[in-house]
Amino acid sequence: MDFAAPIERVLVLLQSVWFSFVARFGVSAILDIAIVALLLYWLLSLISGTSAATLVRGILILLTLGFVLSNVFNLTMLQFLLRNSIPALIFAIPVLFQPEIRRALEQLGRAGSLIPRTTVVSPNTRLADTIARAAQQLAERRFGALLVIERSTPLGDYASKGVAIDALLSTDLLLNIIWPNSPLHDGAVIVHGDRVVAAGVVLPLATSPTVEHVGTRHRAAIGITEISDAIAVVVSEETGTISLANAGRMVRNLGEARLQKVLSILDRSSSGVGSNGPRPPGLGRAREPGEKGPEPREKRDDSEPDAA
């Protein structure tokens, strides 16, 4: 079916309507209407979401009801009051909307404030910064924590056994969840993207005999990374040491800056555990059964001090 002819007729119709509109009202009238519309839109955007929006809605409802009732029932006194209240309302506007008017004038006074500027922050950069900052604050307070970053392998089976949260990731949120004596303190927190999916999650423990003397949190961190491509960040309650587990391996004694860097690299190369992307020192693939290699560093109890 050929749509060229109908489209051409529609374009001709729109062009004729535009030229007739311009011929009737003129370019200056159209420009005037556009400027007033933009001004009203800007003023409404200033009061959107504030108490002034409710105040404007109440005033409009009151005036509309008054004019409708006065005209329908021919109420002379009400019409007189409404006509004389309009000038008084103009003088009351600066008093009623003083904060909004002040904010609008401040925006006009600041150069370039009418053009919104947004700083684009990479999602994995924000994730790494938030997790690293939260881990550092938890370590300083000696609050034990286990944070699991979900990647391509779904962890829904484990998250469903915890407490669903589905909240925007933030440092304050993580601190409140892991605060001692809170109901969700002992379980793991699962994070996916910029959302906290669940808390109080029970994870499988590592079954390797080389991690028998590691604390429960660290065994759970290694265990979830053995069966998935997730990243686990552990804060020791005894020593305040920050550790990170990936692909069944663990590296300890991470500060905030190094943890942020490692998380950024790992989250950027989330195509798989065996990817050829950059890999931080100390984090490699899990050893196959019978494969020889150096003994893991996490072969000691969680209550023992971590070596530097």
Domains of the chain (ranges; CATH) run 4-109 (no CATH), 123-268 (3.40.1700.10)
Residue with tokens 């440092």: 171
Is 212 in contact with 298 (CB distance < 8 Å)? no
Q: Is the pTM of this model over 0.85?
A: no
Is 174 in contact with 185 (CB distance < 8 Å)? no
Q: Residue 31 is encoded by which pair of tokens? A: 């420009």
Burial class (CB in 10 A: 0-12, 13-18, 19+), 197: buried
Give pLDDT tens digits for 236-256.
988 889 999 998 888 888 888
List, run by run, the mean pLDDT of 10-residue segments along the chain (308 residues). Answer: 71 79 75 87 77 81 88 86 82 79 73 48 77 93 92 88 91 91 87 92 81 80 90 91 90 89 76 40 41 40 37
d(CA 92, CA 100) in angstroms, rounded, equals 14
pLDDT of residue 244: 93
pLDDT of residue 1: 53
Is 234 in contact with 211 (CB distance < 8 Å)? no
d(CA 264, CA 246) in angstroms, rounded, equals 13
Query: First CA to last CA across the chain, in angstroms?
Result: 75
Cα-based distances in Å from 229 to 91, 232, 293: 65, 10, 21
Cα-based distances in Å from 276 to 35, 99, 128, 154, 293: 56, 56, 21, 22, 20
pLDDT of residue 139: 92
Residues contacting 305, CB < 8 A, separation 6+: 239
pLDDT of residue 3: 62
| Bridge partners, residue 201, by sequence | 188
